[in-house]
Amino acid sequence: MSDRGSRGRQARIAVIGGDGIGPEVTAVAADVLAAAAHRHGLDLTLDRWDLSADRYLRDGVAITDAERDRLVRDYDAALLGALGDPRVPDHAHIRDILLGLRFHADLYVNFRPCKLLIPALSPLRDPDPTTDIVFFRENTEGLYTGLGGRFKAGTTEEVAVQESLNTYRGVERIVRAAFEHAAATGRGRVTLVDKANALVHEGALWRRVFAEVGAAFPDIAQDAMYVDAMAMDLVRRPQRYEVVVTSNLFGDILSDLGAQVTGGLGLAPSGNINPGVWALFEPVHGSAPDIAGQGIANPLAAVGCVALTLGYLEMDAAAADVEECIVASIRERVSTPDLGGSATTREVGEWMTARLRD
């Protein structure tokens, strides 16, 4: 593995195609990553990993404990295409791979940037071209821990309980990550989103921690919004928000809304990060098995994950070049049909790699 002290120069990255359109968009992402590395003289090693529904159905195992250990120990980061296959209706392989890695590596930051790259792609009537929001979604607690159960299942007296777990440690570290990112990138506002008027216990914890951590960042504006008001305001004036920090459930929903406001899920990358330890980057979109193999899958969210990966590895110049390449491909209509172009998935990738190698 590359020494994590050598960040900015070399790295080893696992490439996981996954299911559906995942292998197609990840192939483009890997080519773009290699081209950016060549352009900037970076020493990147890319290794393909077979973690998918095909493997799960073939072998009965999605990922072993040893493989999880090796991914986190021997690689600096991973690029994932997408997971989801109708042949596995209970999503067992997704839980084993994605959630397994999330908890194994303690990837407590779900980093979801929503930046309006091309105003014409926004569904808003008069979008503000400065819209640039980063969501910090808590990624290991809340309602997604699986706590709870069902009683008298399958009867008319069934009771279902789903519990929300929030710890001081978990809340403090995601709030601190949001403030530190704002300070490091010159963003002037951090907004907490909760439902403290109804979810009073977890709301009180989040608000207390937000105030405590925020006190160390007096130059950053700080406010709190109820989630229902935030959903409305994201559509009305998304440009107001810079860094948003919130719980697992609210972050999942609001970041999808933010992605749609800024161009759609086809452009939305995300990162699952344990800062300084390990990270997994994946498009927000799903595996889209209905269009797999047709050559029309939009690879730009996967390429956006390349930019996030390079930024995480402190290869900032290369990250900026990749982001510029995304914008150029849309402006020059070298894009897939969903963005108004006529290029295939592979043709978009070939155009981008050629641009980076010029």
Catalytic residue among 56, 144, 241, 312: 144
Catalytic residue among 3, 59, 69, 228: 228
Sign of the dihedral through C-alpha 325, 118, 297, 91:
positive
In the annotation, is 194 catalytic?
no
In the annotation, is 256 catalytic?
yes
In the annotation, is 228 catalytic?
yes
In 3D space, the residue among 356, 358, 329, 327 whose CA is nearest the CA of residue 343 turns out to be: 329
Which residue type is seen at 251? G
Beta bridge partners of 149: 161
Q: What is the distance between the alpha carbons of residues 268 and 288, in angstroms, rounded to a whole number?
A: 15
Tokens 């390349």 found at: 306
Catalytic residue among 132, 195, 241, 312: 195
Sign of the dihedral through C-alpha 126, 131, 136, 139:
positive
Q: In this structure, how many other beta carbons lie within 10 angstroms of the beta carbon of residue 50?
A: 13
Catalytic residue among 54, 106, 233, 256: 256
Q: What is the distance between the alpha carbons of residues 184 and 242, in angstroms, rounded to a whole number?
A: 13
Catalytic residue among 19, 85, 252, 321: 252
Sign of the dihedral through C-alpha 97, 100, 105, 108:
positive
The three-state secondary structure class of 112 is strand
In the annotation, is 75 catalytic?
no
Q: What is the distance between the alpha carbons of residues 32 and 30, in angstroms, rounded to a whole number?
A: 5
Which residue type is seen at 238? P
In the annotation, is 252 catalytic?
yes
What are the catalytic residues?
144, 195, 228, 252, 256
